[in-house]
Amino acid sequence: MATRVIAGKEVQVNDEGFMTDPSEWNKDIAAAIAAEEGIPELTPDHWKVIEWSRQVAKNGKSPTLRQITTGTDVNTKQLFALFPKGPAKKAARVAGLGKPEGCV
């Protein structure tokens, strides 16, 4: 397992850059990863998705796009606006979770 320093903290990541230990995550790490993903600022809507995803994650596995839209009342179009080009995958990375099942 590889390690990487994000927001001044060393964390464990897999070969795709997803954190492997969600307990190492914090909000500063979320902001740093978001910036890497082209999201300059995390708004309250971003945090709604991130915090919900962390609450429902099972063993570090992220919810799917459909689960996020159903659980947060953020529709698909809004989710793509918040996390462009692969919202479930980007939301998972920012939330410090593993890659959602079914994402390529």
User: Both tokens of residue 12?
Assistant: 């464990």
How far apart, in Å, are the Cα atoms of 98 and each of 25, 78, 103? 12, 22, 11
SS3 58: strand
How far apart, in Å, are the Cα atoms of 83 and each of 1, 8, 91? 27, 24, 7
Q: Is 53 among the catalytic positions?
A: no
Domain residue ranges of the chain, discontinuous segments joined by +: 2-94
What is the per-residue pLDDT across 53-87, written as a single tens digit (0 to 9) for each? 999 997 667 999 999 999 999 999 999 999 999 99
Helix axis angle for 44-56 and 65-72, nearest 10°, is: 110
What is the per-residue pLDDT across 80-102, written as a single tens digit (0 to 9) for each? 999 999 999 999 999 999 888 76
Q: What's CA 49's distance to the chain center, in Å? A: 9
Active-site residue, from 7, 32, 35, 103: 103
